Each structure stands twice: as C-alpha cells, then as structure tokens.
Amino acid sequence: MRTTFPPASRSCVRRGKAPTPVPLLGSALNGSRLRLAIPNSRGGESSSQVPPSSPALLPPREKGEQKSGSPLSRSVGEGAGVRATTLPSRVTPFPPREGGRGVRSRRVGLFLLALWLALPARAQEEGFRWSPRQASTIAPRVDALFYTISGIAALIALSVCFLIIYFCVKYRRGSKADRSNPPNRNIILETAWIGIPVLLALSIFVWAARVYVDIYQAPPGAIDIYVVGKQWMWKLQHPEGQREINELHVPIGRPVRLILSSQDVIHSFFVPDFRIKQDVLPGRTTTTWFEATQPGRYRIFCAQYCGMNHSRMRGWVYAMPQADYERWLSQGSTGPSMAAEGARLYQQLGCSGCHGASNTVRAPSLDGIYGKPVPLSNRQIVIADDRYIHDSILLPKAQVVAGYKPVMPSFKGLITEEQVLELTAFIKSLGEKQGREEPRAPQGGGGSGRVEEQRQSVKERARETQRAQQGGGSL
Amino acid sequence: MNESRDQKSSLWATLTSVGAVIGGALGVSSALRALTARKAESFVEPEAAPPAEHTPRREALEEAVVAEREEPNYLNVDYTLKSWLTSTDHKRIAILYMISITLFFLIGGAAATIIRLQLATPRGDMVQPVTYNKLFTIHGVIMVWFFLIPSVPAVLGNFLLPLMIGARDLAFPKLNLLSWYLFILGGTFTFVAIITGGVDTGWTFYTPLSTTYSNSNVLLAAAGVFITGFSSILTGLNFIVTTHKMRAPGLTWFRLPLFVWTTYATSLILVLATPVLAVTLLLIFLERVFRIGIFDPSLGGDPLLFQHLFWFYSHPAVYIMILPGMGVVSEIIPCFARRKLFSYKFVAFATFGIALIGFLVWGHHMFVAGQSMYGSMLFSILSFLVAIPSAIKVFNWTSTLYKGSIRLDTPMLYALGFIGLFTVGGLTGLFLAALAVDVSLHDTYFVIAHFHFIMVGGMVTAYLGGIHYWWPKISGRMYPELFGKLSALTIFVGFMLTFLPQFLLGRLGMLRRYYEYDPNFQILNVMSTAGASILAVGYFLPLFYLLLSLKYGKRAPANPWGATGLEWQTPSPPPTYNFKVTPVVTEGPYDYSPEAAEREAAAESAEREIQEAGSRH
C-alpha cells in the first residue's frame, strides 16, 4: 500500500496559504453543499466524481500496483487514472441528492455494492462499521477495556431486567406463589452487593488508570509536531518547517507527540481511530501522543464545542510508512524550520539582548534549558517543558527564575500562538545542541536517517543564524 | 454566511418555540376552563335544582352529593386568578410550578425536535449552523434549569412534603411563593434571551467562548439562570427547615418515607451547590462586561478555572436531577408490590452517600481538559465509588418485588421503566469514569446517551410516574388507566429507540454539538429521530388525558391505591390546611402486607364471581 499526494494539494497547504478549510467528509458531502468547500469541488463531470486537485478526496492508499516512478509524476497519473475505478467505490452509501436517480442510480448502487463487497480496503476506509478502526498502539488496549466493561455492564443490566420481569410474573397479584415471611433485610446480601461492585469498580479503575498513564505520557524519542487550533481550523507544523492545514502526515511505527495550543477558544484534538483526545487550550500548551500502526487516512475532529463552525473543524491524519513519510518531508519547497524561524524571532523581538549566552546578568541563559529543572524565586522547582516555556513567554511574571528580577515584559498579544511555538522549538534546539544526547533515536528501519540528518542540519542553521545575528546585535 | 437565510432559519426556530408556548397556553387555558366548569357545577347547580318531590331516599342522596361537593379543598376555595398568583398554599404553588415547567418542557422539547430533524440527514439540511448551535443551547438551558431541576422537587416536593410529614404548610409559605416568582422572572429573562436572538455557547457556557467570542445574548441567558438559582436556594432552604422542624409527633427520621429523605438530600445539594453557580455566572458577567481577566487567558485568566467552578455546581446538579426521582420510585414500588421496602436504612443512607460523594467527582468532566494526571485519577476513583450507592438502590428496589403481590398499574410501569433505564444510564457511567475509555468517549454521543438515560429515562420517567401516582390526590380525579399504561409503554419504547443507537454513534466517534456528520452514521441517526417522534407522542399523551381527566375523570377517593403514608389519610384533593387533626405517627413507613393484599384480591374476585353467578341466574 502506497500513499501519494499530488503536488497541487501540497502546494496549497504547505505554506499555510490556503485560506479555506478543505472539505473533509468524503465525496457525498462535497458534491452537495459544503459552504466552505473549495470552489472546484463542485465542478466534476458528474456529482460522484471528484476533481483530483481536491486533496482530502484523493485516495489515501492505492492498490499497490504502482511501485516506481517519482512520487510527483506518479500521483498526477494516478489522480486521473484512479478516479474511474477507486473513487466511485468510495462514494458513500448515501449519494448526494443531485446525483442521478432512477435506473441509473440503481445500477450505480449495484456497482457500488459489488465494489463494497469486492474491496476489503474500501470496507476498512469507509462504510458503516460497528466499531472504529484500531489504528494506534493504544487503540487495542482501550478496546479491551471497553469490551470488558461492556460485558460486566451487560451482565448486570440483564440480570436486573430478568429479575424484575421474573418477579413481576411470579408474584403478580392473584398468582399462587409462596409469599410467607417476606424478608425486609438481609445483611449478607447487602454486603455482597456492596462488596462485589466495589471490587469490580476498583479493578476497572486500576486497569483504566494504567492505560491512561500511557496515553498521558509520551514515550521518549517521539517526533514533536506543533498544533495550533483556531476557529475553525487546525494548523500543524513539523519541526522541519512543513506546515499543514487540517492535514497531518505522520510515519507509522514511531511515536508522534502533539504539542497543542489554541489561538482563541478551547478546542479538542480528537482522532477516533487512535482513541486519543486532548483539549487544546488558549494561553497554555497541552500534549498528547500516538503511534500509528497502519497506513491509512484517519479523521481528526474538534471535540470541544468552539463556536459556529465547530462541526467543520475537521481534518485528516495520513499515516504512511517511514520511507513515504521521508519522501513527503523532503518534497516541495519547505520554508525555514520552526527552530530557524524561532531564531529569527528571537533576534527580532530582542530576546537575545537579555538571554544571550554571554549576557546572563538580567536573564538566565536559555542554552540547554529544555527538559531541565529550573529553580524558581518562590523556591519551587519546575521542569522547563513546553508548557513552562510557553507560559514564560506570555506570563513571564508567573514563574520567575531564582536570582533574577521579574523584569521581562509579557509578549501576550504581540506574537501569535504559532510564533510562541516557533520560539519554543528554537529554545528546545538550543538544548539539544548543548551536547545532550539526541533523544529522537531512529526507530525501525534505516529510512529515518535522512530525517535525522535534516533535523540536525536545521538546528545547525538555526544556531548559526542566531550567532551571526547576535554578533551583529551587540555592536 | 448567507444572512437572509440565517435570519429566516432563526425566525423559523423562534416561531416554533412561540408556537410551543401558544400550544402550552392553550392547554393551560383548557385546564382552567375545566376547573371553572367544576365551579359552575358545584355552585350553580344546587341553586338551579328545583325543590321537587321529597322522598327521604333522594334527600339523603342529595345531601351526600352536596356534602361531597361542598367539602372545601385547596382547589375550590377560590377561583380567581389573583387567588392563585398570591396563594401561599404549598399545594397551589406546586400547581403553579407544574404549569410553568410544562410550558418550559414544551419549549425545550420543540428545540429537541428541530435538533433531531436536523440530524436525520448527515448534511445539516434544515437549519443554519448558528441556529443549530442556539437550538441545542436553548434545549440544554431550558431542560436543565427550567424543567429538570424544579420538576420533582418544586412540583411533587412542594405538594407532598408537608402532607407526608403531617404539616399544614412549608415552614416559610411566603418564601415559597417568592421562589416561584423568582423562577418565573429567571424564566422570563431566558425566554427573552431566546426570542431576541438566542444564545450559542451551549448550556455549559464554557469560557473564553462565552466571555469573549460569542456574539449572542449570553448575559441575558446567564442572568436568567442566575435568578432561577436563587429560586432553587430558597426552595431548598424551605424544605430543609420544614423537614427538621415540622414533622408530626412520632414521625422520627427513620419513619420518614424515602421521598422525604431524597427531597431533604436534594435540598442540601441545592443550598450548598447553587451559590457556586451564582458566583460563576457573576464572574462571567464581570469578564464579559468589564473585561476583568478571570477566565480568558488573553486577559490573564484561566479557562480551566471556569470548568472547575461550573462542574462543582453542575455535577451535584445531576444528583439534584436524579435523587428526587429515586424518592418517587421508592414510594411507588412498595405500594404496588404491597411490600415493605427492602433494607429501608441502606436505601436512606445510600441517598446521603450519593449526595455527599456527588460533591467530589466534578473533575470527571475534565479528564481530557488538561488537568493533572493524578487529579484525574482521584476523580476517577471517586466516580466509581459514587456508582455504588446507586447500585445499592437498584438492588434493593428489585428485591422489594420478591414475594410481593404485584400490580402493574401505570405508576408501577413508570417506576419499573425507571429502574431499567436508570440501570443502563448508571452502568454506562462506568465507561466514562474509566479514564482511558473516557478519553475516546468524552464529548461524543455516548455521553449524550448516558446522561439522557439518567435525566430523561430516569428523572422524567419518575416525574411522570409520580404525577400519575399522586394525580388523584392533586386533582381529586382518576386518570384513565388504559391510556396511562399506553403512555408508559410508548415512552419506554420511544426512549430506547432514541437513545440506544446514540451509544453506538458515540463509540464510532460522532461528536455532540455537530450539525452535520459522516454519512455512514445516518442509519443510526434516523433510528434515533424515529424513536424521538415516538417519544414525543408518549409525552403528549399524558398531557392530553390528564387535562381531560380534570373534567371527565372519575372522582378519586382519599386513598385509591390503598397506600400507607400520611398524604393518603386526608381527602383528595386535600383541604387547604391539609389535616383536620395533626396526625400522630406510631409506625414506620411502607407497612404493607403481600399476604393481606392477596386475601383481599381473592375476596374481591370471589365476590365478583358470586355477583356474576347471580346475574346469570
């Protein structure tokens, strides 16, 4: 299974230029009346066909027949060729209203049914399912717990219902049942039906809490991806600088940590097939993580009601094999990396004036600070994680480092949420440069080497930019 | 955004709710007409009756009829509107509440109807996004604060609490009337907020959406809820004092019916939790109007603080919305099973267990909100523990049926339906208390289905069961039994069909507050909408036949169910002062005997057989 994307899709989202969220609910929605849909999604020859330039509608995976050729040329060819075969199969069971009716639609329906039966891949991707796909490492563990609780709940509910019906029949007024000496209390029974549920509840609690700890804390070595939620879109940025809107490309088999922040109201990042959900708050960062196990396309939703177009704040995760991911990363013109962009801001905003490596009188040096404990003036010690750095930029007076005066001005309202994240990425890169062991050890396959190389060179560049600008600034 | 379309659709939503109100008003006016008809009957007829031949038998009969008619009760003491609006009689205030919450139920139900119709198709064909958001906000605000919270406490509690403890009224009758006026004032604010543009924040008013980003009537709606909160506080205070100070001689705590226990526990929650809501809404006001940074991070506030404060009230509020229902069921089941309630003390203490632990579990609404991992664990374990007292109650109700003499009259059908639906609602709560599972289910339709099972399947079913059970006492008339059973079954079937598919939808990842969805989910949504239409029929049935029974219903005796409890020892409807003589209590509650009930039933059927045999001869 290969995943390819035409250049059109990337160029419109890569640099964050696409102003309109991309339609996301499949072709049936597209053909009809998504108000925010890009204009040409209405313009196919027939309503069930979709122009290849619409990124969200392209087949997430092909049948594996194309093995060679550059990704660019391949995807262009596919966009045209696959449309006739694969796309109709992905038309939903509820075709759009303006689609053909009568005999034609019935034939199309039969054809769709045949395809639906013939293509397991289709069944996996679309169509009615009784349970969501298990596409992350955590999903089977959550599901095991889900089904266990379902079993216990069904057992209790059915026995209560059975007893009620049984008693109502047996002891209906006028029946010949024995009613002598009805008991009014039974301490053994009470103890049993308090004790057993307590034990059951506690064991479910322990089990659920253990899985939760693993959902809450990302394993070391995860790829960090920065996510900004705003009414009503997701902006995602890879450390290498690739930006995406409402789309996220990730490799399978590697943990991916999302560092989430909101520019306006509370949102919530939800990928049902990964069983992860995390609220995205304004003014602070939260994190969640996942490790995709199967290549494919998975829906992103905003789960926390966030205003008018909450229902349209959706997107896709594209999980792809490592090699494809790297190809994806290296394709097209990427802008400067997040850290480099952060370095530029670091200069532009005058951070280096106080925080510079040679200038530690007014402010602490930030070299190697990421992930280290920081003593505060109120005698607390905090770990300098994403949230700490984020807060220190926006609310510098909240947690002042011991030995320094609270002189730093707040940058709240002066810089965007994305810029905060870029600065954070830059500060992180300072830490990694300072001889700390590279935490992102390549996992599985030799394919990741290039990414690491790229990351290193990105950091190098960022560092150099900083040094050069610092030198200039001090004169 | 197409503005004219948007206006059109919000106009359409407004029209629907206005229509609902007019429909409700028509219902009320017909109820009043029924009452006036009785007035005409009782006052005009004796004068018009010509003094014809005087056979002693007929004279005695007439005297008996007149005596029955002129027996003063709380309904026939005065018929003017003024006498109703200025009455401090707890029974009349209960009727005022009953009429007003029915009107609010119609508004909330109209909103729910449009929501379900909208969700019948995946593409959101009916109303605009903004309108949809306003509709679910209206539905939530109205149903929670203007229907569910006052439903059993303010209607049945007001009516029954003094009767059940042998008192002549509540401790503070004028305060009671003030509560109703505050309720109506708050309701008016909210209603004005709805018809002048609506609110689109969801009933949870999450910040900073509500304080900074929403352009709708947030303040007006919040003011309505704020004022209504004081109504709740005053009612709670009144009930607490009444329960403590006004019990009849001999009525010790452990002789109290469980309805009094649950009403008392509910009042404690009302008094302790509602002020927090008031403070929270006040803070919203300060931030929205004066831009004082409390919740909005761009002003230096903390958005999670709002969620903590809001759920500190709103989770106990869930127990305000279910405990009284449990009380109703604890009255109905012993009566129709002719049995003492199994383990009275365990059920009573379980009530307090729920009320107490209910204050400590608010954080389970915030497992994915960004609170600390260990905080979540603490809230999770407490949430599991709060399920235990509910389980105790369910097991004890079920055991009460054992060796009973069971009759499945309408109130009993509602009560058994309550146990079934509440059990499903409670057990699905386990999924949401389990941390890892909640992460995937939070904010999906699974949560919607879960709390509708508790609040609608539980509380509304219990409320209707209670209304049927005490209808003879409240109105002095019997409701039609056949229609009653039909409504109970319709509601049960409609409810199951509406909300069971939503569990599956939630598991599949359909999110709440979405006005359009993945077309693959349509089949389940259509099932849900179909169920909702059955449910609507089920809810309209009692509205019609109960109103009709005011005029055409059989006159009710003082104790039609042969129930124990002080409220049955006074005429139906009770006189204004409730009891001619203050009763003295010497026994515990639920002094029923299944064997005696069987003997009576056997004697009755034997008598019927003899009569039939006689008539055949």
Whole-angstrom Cα distance, residue A78 to residue B198? 49
Secondary structure class of B438 (helix, strand, coil) = helix
CB contact under 8 A, A305 and B420: no
Exposure string of B387-404, with b = 16+ CB inside 10 Å and e = fewer, is bbbbbbbbbbbbbbbbbb
- Asked if B581 reaches chain A (Cβ–Cβ under 8 Å), the answer is no
Q: What is the pLDDT of residue B7?
A: 53
Q: Name chain A contacts of B395, Cβ cutoff 8 Å.
A: 160, 193
Whole-angstrom Cα distance, residue B394 to residue B396? 5
Q: What is the pLDDT of residue A442?
A: 37
Residue B305 and residue B331 in contact, taking contact as beta carbons nearer than 8 Å: no
The residue of A167, A313, A394 whose CB has the most chain B CBs within 10 angstroms, and thus the best one to mutate to test that interface, is A167
| More confident: A331 or B199 | B199
Give the residue-averaged pLDDT of B360-370: 93
Of B297, B403, B430, the CB nearest to A179: B403
Q: Measure in Å the smallest separation between the Cα of A330 and chain B Cα atoms.
A: 33
Interface of B with A in 583-602 (CB under 8 A): 594-595, 597-598, 601-602
Q: Which of B234, B246, B243, B242 is nearest to B270 (CA)?
A: B234
Give yes or no for a cis peptide into A120 (omega within 30° of 0): no
- Asked if B437 reaches chain A (Cβ–Cβ under 8 Å), the answer is yes
Q: Which of A445, A146, A117, A109 is nearest to A275 (CA)?
A: A146
**What CATH code is assigned to B62-616?**
1.20.210.10
Could you give the C-alpha distances from A259 to A262, B214, B365, in angstroms and in order?
10, 26, 22
| More confident: B136 or A54 | B136
Q: Measure in Å the smallest separation between the Cα of B85 and chain A Cα atoms.
A: 41
Helix (H) / strand (E) containing A158? helix A139-170
Q: Identify the segments of chain A with pLDDT beneath 50.
A: 1-102, 118-124, 434-452, 470-475
Q: Which of B357, B505, B361, B368 is nearest to B436 (CA)?
A: B368
Secondary structure class of A256 (helix, strand, coil) = strand
Tokens 């005066």 label which residue? A405
Q: What is the pLDDT of residue B10?
A: 52
Of B407, B423, B434, the CB nearest to A157: B423
Task: Provide the CA B78 distance to its chain's centre, in angstroms.
Answer: 28
- Asked if A147 reaches chain B (Cβ–Cβ under 8 Å), the answer is no
Q: Measure in Å the smallest separation between the Cα of A20 and chain B Cα atoms.
A: 14
DSSP for B277-346, please give it: HHHHHHHHHHHHHH---SS-GGGT--HHHHHHHHHHHHHHHHHHTTHHHHHHHHHHHHHHHTSPPTTHHH
| More confident: B78 or A83 | B78
Q: What is the pLDDT of residue A106?
A: 60
Secondary structure class of A4 (helix, strand, coil) = coil
Q: Which of B149, B133, B138 is nearest to B108 (CA)?
A: B138
Interface of A with B in 63-92 (CB under 8 A): 92
Q: Which of A70, A79, A139 is nearest to A292 (CA)?
A: A139
- Asked if B509 reaches chain A (Cβ–Cβ under 8 Å), the answer is yes
Whole-angstrom Cα distance, residue B173 to residue A287? 55
Give the residue-averaged pLDDT of B399-415: 94
Could you give the C-alpha distances from B343 to A368, B337, B563, in angstroms and in order?
65, 15, 19
CB atoms within 10 A of CB B25: 13
HSE-CB for A88 with a 13 A CA cutoff? 16
Whole-angstrom Cα distance, residue B550 to residue A113? 58
User: Dihedral of CA B386/B387/B390/B395: which sign?
Assistant: negative
ipTM: 0.86
CB contact under 8 A, B398 and A209: no
- Asked if B427 reaches chain A (Cβ–Cβ under 8 Å), the answer is yes
Whole-angstrom Cα distance, residue A322 to residue A257? 16
Secondary structure class of B409 (helix, strand, coil) = coil
Of B130, B200, B443, the CB nearest to A304: B443
CB contact under 8 A, B519 and A29: yes
- The phi, psi pair for B586, rounded to 5°, reads -125, -5
Pairing, β A256-262 against β A223-230:
parallel
Task: Provide the CA B617 distance to its chain's centre, in angstroms.
Answer: 52
- Asked if A276 reaches chain B (Cβ–Cβ under 8 Å), the answer is yes
- Asked if B373 reaches chain A (Cβ–Cβ under 8 Å), the answer is yes
Task: Provide the CA A79 distance to its chain's centre, in angstroms.
Answer: 26
Q: Which of B413, B193, B424, B212 is nearest to B301 (CA)?
A: B212
CB contact under 8 A, A25 and B342: no
Q: Name chain B contacts of A138, Cβ cutoff 8 Å.
A: 436
pLDDT tens digits for B547-580? 999 999 999 999 999 999 999 999 989 999 999 8
Whole-angstrom Cα distance, residue A372 to residue A385? 8
- Asked if A93 reaches chain B (Cβ–Cβ under 8 Å), the answer is yes
Residue A246 and residue A445 in contact, taking contact as beta carbons nearer than 8 Å: no
Whole-angstrom Cα distance, residue B365 to residue B314? 10
- The phi, psi pair for A245, rounded to 5°, reads -120, 125
CB contact under 8 A, B381 and A205: yes
The residue of B440, B448, B492 whose CB has the most chain A CBs within 10 angstroms, and thus the best one to mutate to test that interface, is B440
Give yes or no for a cis peptide into B253 (omega within 30° of 0): no
Residue A255 and residue A219 in contact, taking contact as beta carbons nearer than 8 Å: yes
Q: Locate A395 and state its tokens.
A: 């609310």
Q: Which residues make Cβ contacts (< 8 Å) with residue B277, sequence separation at least 6?
A: B225, B226, B229, B310, B313, B314, B317
| CB pairs < 8 Å spanning A and B | 298
For chain B, what are the domain ranges?
Answer: 62-616
Q: Residue A381 class from Cβ within 10 Å (0-12 exposed, 13-18 middle, 19+ buried)?
A: exposed
CB contact under 8 A, A284 and B297: yes
Q: What is the pLDDT of residue A59?
A: 39
Could you give the C-alpha distances from A159 to A166, A182, A191, B394, in angstroms and in order?
10, 21, 18, 12
CB contact under 8 A, A149 and B513: no
- Asked if A453 reaches chain B (Cβ–Cβ under 8 Å), the answer is no
Q: Measure in Å the smallest separation between the Cα of A214 and chain B Cα atoms.
A: 9
Residue of B nearest to A155 (CA): B427
- Asked if A176 reaches chain B (Cβ–Cβ under 8 Å), the answer is no
CB contact under 8 A, A208 and B434: yes
Q: What is the pLDDT of residue A17?
A: 38
Q: Name chain A contacts of B302, Cβ cutoff 8 Å.
A: 283
Q: What is the value of pTM for the model shown?
A: 0.77
CB atoms within 10 A of CB A349: 16
Q: What is the pLDDT of residue B252?
A: 94
pLDDT exceeds cutoff 60 at B492: yes
Residue B9 and residue B131 in contact, taking contact as beta carbons nearer than 8 Å: yes
- Asked if B523 reaches chain A (Cβ–Cβ under 8 Å), the answer is yes
Q: Locate A418 and state its tokens.
A: 């994305």
Q: What is the pLDDT of residue A425?
A: 83
CB atoms within 10 A of CB A72: 16
- Asked if B432 reaches chain A (Cβ–Cβ under 8 Å), the answer is no
pLDDT tens digits for B413-447? 999 999 999 999 999 999 999 999 999 999 999 99
Task: Provide the CA B294 distance to its chain's centre, in angstroms.
Answer: 34
Q: What is the pLDDT of residue A12?
A: 38
Residue of B nearest to A410 (CA): B300
Whole-angstrom Cα distance, residue B220 to residue B186? 9
pLDDT tens digits for A373-411? 888 888 888 888 888 888 888 888 778 888 788 878 888
Could you give the C-alpha distances from A411 to A141, A349, A423, B297, B583, in angstroms and in order?
42, 9, 12, 13, 73
Tokens 């009337």 label which residue? B177
Whole-angstrom Cα distance, residue B402 to residue B407? 13
- Asked if B26 reaches chain A (Cβ–Cβ under 8 Å), the answer is no
Q: Measure in Å the smallest separation between the Cα of B357 and chain A Cα atoms.
A: 14
Q: What is the pLDDT of residue A467?
A: 54
Q: Which of B234, B255, B337, B279 is nearest to B561 (CA)?
A: B337
Interface of B with A in 344-363 (CB under 8 A): 344-346
Residue A232 and residue A313 in contact, taking contact as beta carbons nearer than 8 Å: yes
Interface of B with A in 296-355 (CB under 8 A): 296-298, 300, 302-304, 337-340, 342-346
CB atoms within 10 A of CB A440: 18
Tokens 């300098």 label which residue? A384
To 10 degrees, the CA torsion angle through B321, B327, B330, B333? Answer: -70
- Share above pLDDT 70 across residues of chain B, in percent, rounded to a whole number: 88
- Asked if A184 reaches chain B (Cβ–Cβ under 8 Å), the answer is yes
Residue of A nearest to B518 (CA): A25
End-to-end CA distance of chain A: 57
